[in-house]
Chain A
Amino acid sequence: MDILRKKTWSPYTAGVLAGILLVLSVFIMGKYFGASTTFVRVAGFVEQSVAPEKVASMAYFIKEKVIIDWQFVFVFGVLFGALASAWLSKEKMAVAVPPMWEARFGQSRVRRWMAAFLGGTVLMFGARLADGCPSGHGLSGLAQIAISGYVSLICFFLAGMILARILYGGGNDHE
């Protein structure tokens, strides 16, 4: 099982495997990959613990239903799959600040964590407004040749590239 211990698979090989997995998932379970709706459900569970009546009356929580469904366990499964893979290939665990970030913005964990929190907040508001993320719109949407998928994914990359340019400038320090 050396293949499972290898640190890297070619992105093309991995892509073929992920594509087959998506087709099997649709064929066997009728389920398409997606992730961002799960965060609505987690937010719903959190809010339910303090204000259950409010959650029960909110249109968006009624629409998306605050339940544990296929996608919910799928998203948490991703965490454990990545953990298993990293463990098998003996990756260095516990990285607090990404190397590229550190090279540009320094070692400060607090700065990175605050930026990550802010970025996550903005990103998820956008994902819900767009009705999907790079899994739902990107993989599942483009595989179905949905125009909503193409429009959304192009917008994800366009704004992401502009932000990357603002944060890192045009330099090529990474190579």
Chain B
Amino acid sequence: MNELLIGAITGILFGFIMQKAQVIRYDKQMAALRLQDMTIVKFMLTTILVAMVGMYLLFDLGLIKFSLKPLILGGNVLGGLIFGIGWGILGYCPATAMGALGEGRYDSAFGLMGMILGAGLYAEAYPLMKETVLTWGDFGKITIPLALGINHWIVIVILGALFIVLFRWFEKKGL
């Protein structure tokens, strides 16, 4: 019960923040895919940068556990590309479609209904996928620092620097 209450509060705060950042709009998501306005990319990469530093600090202190998704090239690449095709048509991703509905952009309701159908179709296809696509290129739960065999803080500093260079470039170009 406590877990569900905190889940609801976390979701409400996340939805509130995303609405203020204007990232739950079709126009913003498509503008990013059309390389015209990088608002959603700025938001995502800033979130990632802060969370990456915070989580690895807590990890080093032994206070949290990671929850890594395995690298399965068949699933990640093929599924990722199929997702991108649908995203390019809908213009909302799953969490932002819920936010868009809250914001009154009710075209997202049809996207959400489609998502429920898509999830049901995948449940039908899962036994086949498990035997085929999900066996292609399975590297297990792996991170960049683990794969390279180097300290994670080296990777964090490099990624952080890359993100900041990207932000400065976006601002210079007015994206």
A contact residues vs B (CB 8 Å cutoff):
6-12, 14-23, 25-33, 35-36, 38-40, 42-44, 46-47, 58-61, 63, 68-86, 89, 91-101, 109, 112-168, 172, 174-175
Contacts and interface: CB of A to CB of B under 8 A. Distances in A.
Contacts of B77: 151, 155
Interface in B60-101: 63-73, 75-91, 93-101
Given A23-B51, A147-B143, A141 B87 contact: no
B33 A160 contact: yes
Contact of A17 (B7, B17, B120, B124): B17
Contact of A12 (B125, B145, B167): B167
B54 interface: yes
Nearest to B123: A60
B118 to A, nearest CB: 3
Contact of B51 (A42, A139, A168): A139
A158 B81 CA distance: 7
Interface residues of B, number: 126
Interface string B44-57: 11111111101100
Interface of B: 3-27, 30-31, 33-37, 39-40, 42-52, 54-55, 58, 63-73, 75-91, 93-108, 110-127, 129-130, 133-134, 139, 141-145, 147, 152, 155-156, 159, 167
B84 A163 contact: yes
A116 B80 contact: no
13 contacts: A11-B23, A19-B47, A30-B67, A43-B123, A79-B15, A98-B26, A98-B107, A126-B81, A147-B71, A151-B80, A152-B83, A155-B83, A163-B85
A167 B44 contact: no
Contact of A15 (B45, B129, B134): B45
A59 B130 contact: yes
B30 to A, nearest CB: 6
A122 B82 contact: yes
B95 A22 contact: no
B36 A74 contact: no
B27 A98 contact: yes
A76 to B, nearest CB: 7
A140 B14 CA distance: 13
A172 to B, nearest CB: 7
B118 A123 contact: yes
Nearest to A16: B50
Given A59-B126, A113-B107, A164-B34, A15 B21 contact: yes
Shortest 4 CB-CB contacts between residues of A and residues of B:
A77-B11, A163-B88, A15-B46, A159-B84
B89 A119 contact: yes
A151 B67 CA distance: 17
A114 B107 CA distance: 9
Contacts of A86: 19, 102-104
B122 A167 contact: no
Contacts of A8: 20-22
